[in-house]
Structure formats: C-alpha cells, structure tokens
Structure 1
Amino acid sequence: MHVIDAETVHERLHYPGLIEALERAHRDSPPWMDRTLMQAPDHGVHQGEAFLVLPAWFPGRVMGVKMATVIPRNADAGRPTIHASYQLFDGDTGEPKANIDGTALTLRKTAADSALGSRLLSRSDSGTLLMVGAGALAPHLIAAHQAARPSLRRVLVWNRTPHHRDSLVEALRAEEIDAEAVDSIADAIPEADIICCATGTMEPLIKGQLLQPGQHLDLVGSFNPSMRESDDDCVRRARLFVDFRASTVDAAGDLFHPITDGVIEESDIIADLFELCGGRQSGRGDDTEITLFKNGGGAHLDLFAAEHLVEQVDRD
C-alpha cells in the first residue's frame, strides 16, 4: 500500500494532467456516492465548522473515502482551513491501495475542478483573473485557472483581511505573475474576464448588476445552504452550470436560495460536467454570454484525483 504525503501529491498532480484526467473521467457515468455532513450551529465560536465523510465506489474497479474537517477560524492562526485524509481501496478485492494526504488532494482536485469548468465555459482569450479570497485554496485556483487558460496574465486579488491578500500578491509576484491587490470588489469586477470566489461568506460578495458581457464566474466557497457568494442578479443574468447536479442544487446557497425563492428553477441549470464532457450539452455559446459555474465538489472528484495520482506513482 502506498503512503502518499502532501509533497508527493503536489509534485505528481500537475494541473494540466489533472485537468485532462478529470475531463476523461467525466465522460463516463458517475460512481456510486454518498455524503455525510456534520455541521456546527450558524452562530457562536464554531460557526461554519464541519466534518465531512465522502465515500465513492466504482464496483470492480476502485473505491475510496475522504474524511475532512473544515475549521474557518484556523485561517486567523495561519493554519489550513481544511484538513483531510483519503483512503483508496481496490474495487475488486477491497484491499487498501493508498493512504493519501487528503488536504493536499482536496486543494488540487478542487482547483482542477474549477479549471475544467473554466476551460469549457470561459472565453479562450481571457486575460485577467479576479481572485476573491486569499486562503490556502487561492494560489491553487489561480495556478489551475492559468493552466486551463494560458492567456491569463494578470491577477487581481481581494480579501477581507489585507494581510493575507498582500501576502498572496507578493508570492504571485515572486513567480513573475502580474498580480495586484485591490480594495474594492465592485471596482475590480469590470476589469476581470474570469472571477473566482473561494470564501466562507454568508452574504453575497458578487453583485450581478456589476457583471460584464463575456465574463465567467467561478463560485467555490459555498458548500451549504447558509453560505452564499453571489446574489440573485448573478443567477438571473448568467447561463448556469455546475460540476455535478447532485452536489450543488440542494447543498450550495448560491443555487439553493434562488431556487427556493422562485428566482430561478432547477431546470435553468443547463449542464454539469458529466453532461458537458460527455457531449450531451454544449457550454459557452458566444463571447457575450455571462457564464456561472458552481464548484460543489463531491466524492467522485476525490476518487478521480486519487486514482490518477496512484497511476502516476505506480509508473515509477
């Protein structure tokens, strides 16, 4: 059995290859999946905290399970918000195949998920990315979006805490990326071709009335109905896509509230990645459309990424 640490995960899961692996995996039917989410109350010191167990199973092929904790207050102490462990099993014999650092796996698969959505939905000439949020996931999302859209040369960064924003900008500049700290989301939105949000906000940060023709909005942070990064105008104005219908419609506030309130209907969601990659639906129609992609995650993505990772390790 492989024991794969975080350093090896980051070394082996290069974004171009991982994005390709996710696209191939989405051409087939989803594996069997389940999801257990334990959440703290929406008030008090433990607000926003969660414990997730995410199993997935391709019978006869592979099965795996991720156990993850989400502790938003860790960010204030400079620790990762998400900690996780992933166990991969042989789908035929049930024998353990790999124990993987689930935190690193989560960062990589989440970023690649958004990047695959961008490759299918954003304009091919996109040049400026607005990154809303500067947590541990932000540099991975930036790198993955750049892998999907090499035309992205400029990165704008906003964060509630200027210190974390400025640290990320400094790190990006050290990699010779044209990065700039911004104080106002509203002022930055018109400058961006792609807007990526990865926050723990309960109140919408992206106002749909500010969105410009041709923009692509990538929403990552909201993973329960209490969290929401975009307002009703965003879903009214945009063509709506998700990574997987089953992990987004009822789970993410960005869609749950507009559907519940009658702003949109579930049928307004045009496609998920299985439908897009399988050729059953098309993505962006022209360069003037606003596209919205909700990254909801799911056990299938962890399984796809873990299987691809072990394939890379086994080649050695």
Structure 2
Amino acid sequence: MELLDAARVRALLVPADLVEALRAAFAEQERVVVPHRAHHRVDEQRDATLLLMPAWQTDAWIGVKVVGHFPRNGEQGLPAIHGSYLLLDAATGRPAAVLDGTELTRWRTAAASALAAGYLAPQVVEEHLLVGAGNVAHAVPHCYAAVREVGLTRVWARDPSRAEGLVDRLRQEGVRAEAAPDLREAVRRADVVTAATSATEPLVLAEDVRPGTHVDLVGAFTPAMVEADEALVTSGSLFVDVPEALEEPGDLVQPLRRGALRRSDVRATLADLAAGRHPGRTDEEEVTVFKSVGTALEDLTAARIVWQAASGA
C-alpha cells in the first residue's frame, strides 16, 4: 500500500484534468454508489465535527474519507480541515493507497465549483472575489482557469494579513491578484463571488450583488453555518451540487425551515448540468447561486486520478 502525502497529491493533481474528470463522473453518477455521509459532533466546545464519506464503483474502486473539521484551528495557525482517504481495489478489497484527504478535499471542492461555474458564470469575468483566504480559496483560481479567463482575483478575509498572504502566494503562482479591504464594496464589483469560510452570519448580501453575477458558496456544511443572506438564495437562480445541500448547510436549511425557500426552487444539480439536462445560465442579467456541500463521488474521482498518475496506470 502506498502513502501519498499532501505534496505528492498536489504534484499529481492537474486542476483542468480534475475538472474534466468530475464532469464525466457527475454525468454518469449512477455508476457510483454514494451512501449518505455521517456527521458526528466530537467536541462541543471547539465546534468540532467528524465526517465519514464512503463511495464505491463495483468494477473499479472503493474509497472512504475520514475528515475532522475544527473551525478554531486557525487560532493555532492550522487548517480547519484535516482528512485521510483510503482507496481500495473493488475486486479484492485490497488497500491500494492512503492519500492526504485534506489536500484531496480542497482541490476536488475547488474543481467542483469551477465545473459549476462553466455552466453558471458569465462568459466575461473581469473580477473574481474570494471571500476567505484558506486552503480551498487558494485552489479556486487555479481550477477556475479551466473554465474562464479571469482578469483579476481579489481576496477578502476577516484577518487582512491572511488575505495579503494568499494574494502573495497567488501572485507567485502567476495569478493576477490583490487584497480587497472592504467586503461589500468588493462584492459590488465582482462578476463571480466564491465564499469559502466557516461563517455563521451572512457575508454575501443580496443588495450588494449586481445583476449577472455568479455566487459560489462552498464553505457552510452545517445548519449553523451561513455565508449568504436569505434574500440572495431566494431571489437568485439556485443550483446545488447534490440534493443533500438542502439538508445540511444553514444557507438553505434555515430559509427552508422558515418557509422562505422550497425544495422546488432548486433549478438543477451538478449532475443535471454535467449530463445536459439543464442548460445552466440562460440570461446575462441572471444572478446564479451555486451551493455545494461536497460529495464522496468527488473524492473517489480525485483519488482515482491521483492513483493512476502515481502508478502510471
């Protein structure tokens, strides 16, 4: 069994290839079994959560990801998410590899957002705003490059030094980037807004979003977590990665409970977009909202292409 650490996973993952692999996986998602993931609260004081995410394709691979989400890790200079991924041969159950699940998660999350943006974002993206400066935010511009040419990437974070740090890192990697000191002003300027935070109060407000903007919400995954206000998710054209997005994140769970949002308000899932069952954006003035919570289908797809690259298969 091979151990693929974060550096190896990153070296083997080509963002554009991952976006295309996810497109194919979502278009044929019925070939993969994805049980409902398990959430366990393991530490109330630290708001810490354990997630177990299995998936398998009977003629190929079995995989399971174990993830710890510790939102207060930033106080210690650590990522909020740590994970490990076990990949097994579906024919024999033999373990093939253990991959760094944290690295795998951030790239598959960013790639899924980019895949959705290919259907939902405006064709011309002069400014892309990243709300949050963590590991997922860092991966987003590299994946978006597979679907859109972005003029400028701006970064806002509660801690301005973290925003500046991500800007420096992106510039070193060839991305034109700058820090955004004022969040609301930055939202008003953006053609695409990606929020990747652990916020529990709305950061992206409907009144600041211009017509034609695409809003990409990737951070919240519990009922207490919210990145956009109710007015935005109820007034925009709403898309989700998977149906579970209506059961887990506060962005959608809270307005559903209040009756402000109905399940039928969701225009399509990522599988619908990838399979051509929905065209995506239909109007230049349309505000599109994509809410993702992630799925084990993405993890299995990413782990498979990393393993194939590692093994030369």
Same fold at TM > 0.5: yes
How much does 1:310 deviate? 1.4
TM-score by length of 2: 0.95
- Mapped partners of 1:132, 1:213: distance in 2: 19
- Mapped partners of 1:117, 1:6: distance in 2: 25
Q: Which residue of structure 2 lines up, in the alignment, with residue 65 of structure 1? A: 64
Q: Which residue of structure 2 lines up, in the alignment, with residue 193 of structure 1? A: 191
Q: Which residue of structure 1 lines up, in the alignment, with residue 114 of structure 2? A: 115
Pairing 1:85–2:87 present: no
SS in 2 for 1:228: coil
Contact 1:33–1:300 (CA<8 Å) still a contact in 2? no
Following superposition of structure 1 onto structure 2, how do residues 233-252 of structure 1 map, counting pairs within 5 Å? 233-246=231-244, 248-252=245-249
SS in 1 for 2:177: strand
SS in 2 for 1:76: helix
SS in 2 for 1:148: coil
TM-score by length of 1: 0.94
Q: Which runs of 5+ in 2 are unaligned?
A: none
Contact 1:32–1:58 (CA<8 Å) still a contact in 2? no
- Mapped partners of 1:32, 1:130: distance in 2: 32
**Offset from partner CA, 1:80-139 (integer Å, 9 cap, x none):** 211111001111221112111111111111111111111121012112100000112211
Q: Which residue of structure 2 lines up, in the alignment, with residue 24 of structure 1? A: 24
- Structure 1 176/4 Cα, relative in aligned 2: closer, same or farther at 3 Å? closer
Q: Which residue of structure 2 lines up, in the alignment, with residue 14 of structure 1? A: 14
What amino acid sits opposite 1:82 in the alignment? I
Q: Which residue of structure 1 lines up, in the alignment, with residue 224 of structure 2? A: 226
- Mapped partners of 1:272, 1:225: distance in 2: 20
- Mapped partners of 2:13, 2:200: distance in 1: 32
Contact 1:34–1:56 (CA<8 Å) still a contact in 2? no
Q: Which of these residues, 155, 158, 163, is aligned with residue 157 of structure 1?
A: 155
Contact 1:13–1:309 (CA<8 Å) still a contact in 2? yes
What amino acid sits opposite 2:304 in the alignment? E
Per mean C-alpha deviation after superposition, the further-off stretch among 211-220 and 57-66 is 57-66
RMSD across aligned positions (CA):
1.5
How much does 1:176 deviate? 4.1
Q: Which residue of structure 2 lines up, in the alignment, with residue 52 of structure 1? A: 51
Q: Which runs of 5+ in 1 are unaligned?
A: none
How much does 1:11 deviate? 1.0
SS in 1 for 2:178: strand
Q: Which residue of structure 1 lines up, in the alignment, with residue 255 of structure 2? A: 258
- Mapped partners of 2:210, 2:242: distance in 1: 26
- Identity across the alignment (%): 37
How much does 1:213 deviate? 1.0
- Structure 1 202/175 Cα, relative in aligned 2: closer, same or farther at 3 Å? same
Contact 1:75–1:135 (CA<8 Å) still a contact in 2? no
Contact 2:34–2:296 (CA<8 Å) still a contact in 1? no
How much does 1:223 deviate? 0.5
Contact 1:199–1:229 (CA<8 Å) still a contact in 2? yes
Contact 2:55–2:62 (CA<8 Å) still a contact in 1? yes
Per mean C-alpha deviation after superposition, the further-off stretch among 127-136 and 68-77 is 68-77
Contact 1:153–1:177 (CA<8 Å) still a contact in 2? no
Runs of 4+ deviating beyond 4 Å: none
Count of residue pairs brought into register by the alignment = 311
